[in-house]
Structure 1
Amino acid sequence: SAAVCHEQAMNQSIFELATGLVPATYINQAQQARGSREKMLKTLLSQRRMPEKGWDEATLRLVVHELAALDSNTFVDNAGVGEREGRVVCPLVAQRHFGLAHGIGRSGDIAEPQPKAAGSSLIYALTNALATDALKRAGCAGVSECTVLPLATGMGMTLTLLALKQLRPSARFVVWPRIDQKSCLKAISAAGLVPVPIENLREGDELRTNVPAIAAKLQELGSEALCVLSTTSCFAPRAVEKLLEVARLCEAHEVAHVANNAYGVQCEMCMKAIASASRHARLDAFVQSTDKNFLVPVGGSIVASADAKHGRQLTQALRGIYPGRASISPILDLFCTLLHLGAAGWVELLRRRRALLPQFGLRLSEVVQRHGERLLRTPNNSISMGVSLTLPPGGSRPPAALGASLFVRLVSGVRVVAPSTSPKKVGGLDFLSYGAHTDACSEAYFSVACALGIDEVDIDLFLKRVDKALG
């Protein structure tokens, strides 16, 4: 365009003037380096996907600063007389945010460009495109809709349910195959909806989806059923939902289907299940965390869809229901991380986790067997692993003591679960043995995860410490 040609001419003239102060050979070399970085940005804007090779930090900083300079609060001699002009009083805060102070979206749509914030709006649009590419490379090739939200996963699910409720205002029940994680229930109740829990079925050590019970409940609720909220990533011994079977039920009953894919992006099994359910039946949307899947600070989630029939309508409703403007901080974190990794780095991160899983499981099994325990067999969960926790006859040491013992040994992330006949109220519902994903829990166990970012050092330290704690 004429504007781009003018900018290039201006940049060229600046370099030409600089040769009057510094030898031309040095300036030409610097100009070439600058041109290489500008070409990387140009490629990003044209291709709208992750670069094959990750960007270096200098390029990342340059691009973010350049985009931030497109927001009105950074304009030279800008006269701001509105009530919100992107003013930041603390220099440290301004530096932390690269001067990006206007946020994203407008009161009518979180994805709508802001007149005062061209740079922030561009970062958001690019981040949605990069996230779509990352999800495709993780195993769900059909992803077509993607919205990154500055909300953690639970609130992301709540907003998704509110959008569904807007599309079907008379429906109020959410059929929910049980997953003992409080945020799921809270997401439902925060949307003003009623959860209908479905107990899981035990298949060997695993807990699997009770498909016949879901079918019966959908038949019973009829048009009052808003959706089924299924789960992919979860704590062992619960397994990945029988997603395709659930999706077929939803399609047959004309009921929406949302999957809680909290940390499932890192798992090929979860992503392929999502792709299959979306392609062959009905899966309106799947929701995932940015921190667990992309190693950024807590605060963001991604609502995506690979369902060509239902995804677009839900995405539009979701974007339109967000009230007011939104923070760009979690979006900027993901934007920088995906460019830092590049496609090659992202795929390698996924590969490393996948390669460590069987090694971790084998070594953990060897350690616990020395103490009379066993690794639970959960072939349909390729992130979390469960280990039996036998209580010694007449012993006074409760199962939870293992978790405390490991915590003081600087081991985090271990979940200890024990059978209980005392009901626990969560989200207005009573559950037995809460944490076990079933009322019929007969033995104590603990679970650990082979999650994205784990390395051999983590595994070595944990195995040494759990060996001592069990002893």
Structure 2
Amino acid sequence: MDSRNLQLTKEIIGKTLGQSGEDSLNSLGKELRILLSQKKLPKEPWTDLMIQSVLTDLAMMDSNNFTSRAGVGEREGRIFSSIVQHRHFYFSHGIGRSGEISAIQPKAAGSSLMAILTNTFAKHALKISGIRKVDCMVVPMATGMSISLAMLALKPQRPQAKYVVWTRIDQKTCLKCIYTIGLQAIVVEPELKGDAIVTGDVLNAIERVPIDEILCVLSTTSCFAPREPDDIERISAICKEKGIPHIVNNAYGLQCHKICGKISNSIRNGRVDAIVQSTDKNFMVPVGGAVIACPSSEFLKSISSTYPGRASGAPILDLFVTFLSMGEAGYQRILRERRSLVPIFKQRLSEFARSFGERLLESQNNTISYAISLDHFPNPTAIGSSLFLRRVSGTRVITPQSSKSVCGISFNSYGASYSNYPLAYITAACAVGLSPQEVDLFFERLSQVLRDSRAAY
């Protein structure tokens, strides 16, 4: 409300009451000015009413919400359903232009501003997590397709490339993102050290083919125990020495300060071209977005220019709203809460395993996912389905006998990320957003399922 309208308001409801309303509006205006000038997460979370007010202002800047408009183009942001309109807070133009996903869109000043702010908020969040000296952008694709996009941006630099050196991680997306863009994987089989599955011989894999035929090395930092995060510091040093690009799949690694510290060290001392992380796993928004971060702003622009056409603004809107709802204090709080729950979760899991004659599998460098053996259960695969029927989601039961073919490559002990892992096990994660109440419920239901499983035999 401008100054003239505020004056008219005071004439209608009285100077005292009008001034009270003006003070409230000025307070929001001050918070917005800080946001626009600093381009960082607000210190404290915003209220829903504050967020809705700003969203309304931004939406009014887009051409589809102009009053008395005459839209005669083929794409005017028209929305038939009022439910869809409300769901998207009246934004409909998406982000970017046909030549670049990060470009400002003439018909959508509000959407463009929101996208730019969301990118700067994401950069601030990465810094809080421990990844510094990067530029980043939020894209409306989940992790796999975002990795593919980053790889496509590398292709002009390495026109002879046929291969991606890939450290085995048994998650289909990680392999399919390579084959989707017409490349092949050189699989680096991991090594077994005690219970832990660790990075294999990346250098040997690189030396199997000519260097110019390798597009990049794709490493992974977040994985299911007892697979440990890749030794990205060693990998980045090899990539720097050999002159090979390096993309890090950091799907849900932002919640782990140790992982983020290793990424920062790798950027500083080795070679890292892009780091890709999921928005849903790290920031608790619906699936559909990723944050691509690059030490080089030039390469980030190349990735932005590689994306064909405009893009959906929905994942960006979700993250923008969530960042304002969290604020810097809220984001730090959820990271702190997860960190404080980790030793409790690990200890309880270890004690629980011993009570059934099993043990916690040791994978010291994985502080998100944990695994316990199922040596004394004749039908371990039934345990996973029984848990799901009891509304326990997210666990994975892995057996040595399982095998699978993905993109034409056969894998033994699929799910373990290591051929012929010596025992069956079940995994559970202490991820961001997990509550102590959920932990209690998990152990209660897992105990019942294991007792039932043992009684059945």
Identify the residue that residue 198 of structure 1 maps to in structure 2: 188
Paired letter, 2:45: G
Identify the residue that residue 187 of structure 1 maps to in structure 2: 177
Identify the residue that residue 202 of structure 2 maps to in structure 1: 214
Q: Give 1:27-426 correspondences, 5 Å limit.
A: 27-143=18-134, 145-210=135-200, 213-221=201-209, 222-305=211-294, 307=295, 311-392=296-377, 395=378, 398-420=379-401, 423-426=403-406
Report how far residue 141 of structure 1 moved. Answer: 2.4
Cα distance in structure 2, aligned partners of 1:330 and 1:377: 37
Cα distance in structure 2, aligned partners of 1:169 and 1:96: 43
Report how far residue 457 of structure 1 moved. Answer: 0.5
Aligned-partner SS, 1:236: coil
* Residues 1:460 and 2:450 are matched in the alignment: no
Native 8 Å contact 2:40 2:124 kept in 1: yes
Q: Kindly report structure 1 stretches of 4+ aligned residues shifted beyond 3 Å.
A: none
TM-score by length of 2: 0.97
Native 8 Å contact 1:368 1:467 kept in 2: no
Paired letter, 2:307: Y
Paired letter, 2:222: S
Cα distance in structure 2, aligned partners of 1:54 and 1:190: 40
Native 8 Å contact 1:50 1:130 kept in 2: yes
**1:198-249 Cα distance to aligned partner (Å, 9 max, x none):** 1101111111112xx2112212322111110000010000101111100000
Native 8 Å contact 2:357 2:376 kept in 1: no
Identity %: 46
Aligned-partner SS, 1:19: helix
Where structure 1 has 5 or more consecutive residues not aligned to the other structure, the ranges are: 1-9
Cα distance in structure 1, aligned partners of 2:208 and 2:419: 23
Identify the residue that residue 412 of structure 2 maps to in structure 1: 432
Report how far residue 174 of structure 1 moved. Answer: 0.4
Identify the residue that residue 454 of structure 2 maps to in structure 1: none
Cα distance in structure 2, aligned partners of 1:229 and 1:101: 35
Cα distance in structure 1, aligned partners of 2:328 and 2:159: 41
Where structure 2 has 5 or more consecutive residues not aligned to the other structure, the ranges are: 452-457
Paired letter, 1:282: R
Report how far residue 264 of structure 1 moved. Answer: 0.4
Native 8 Å contact 1:53 1:344 kept in 2: yes
Cα distance in structure 2, aligned partners of 1:391 and 1:383: 25
Match of 1:441 among 403, 421, 433: 421
TM-score by length of 1: 0.94
Report how far residue 167 of structure 1 moved. Answer: 2.4
Paired letter, 2:203: A
Cα distance in structure 1, aligned partners of 2:376 and 2:217: 37
Cα distance in structure 2, aligned partners of 1:429 and 1:125: 41
Paired letter, 2:394: G
**Pairs aligned (count):** 450
Native 8 Å contact 1:165 1:172 kept in 2: no
Q: Give the superposed CA RMSD.
A: 1.1
Aligned-partner SS, 1:459: helix
Identify the residue that residue 7 of structure 1 maps to in structure 2: none
Cα distance in structure 2, aligned partners of 1:322 and 1:410: 39
Aligned-partner SS, 1:89: coil
Aligned-partner SS, 2:77: coil
Paired letter, 1:252: E
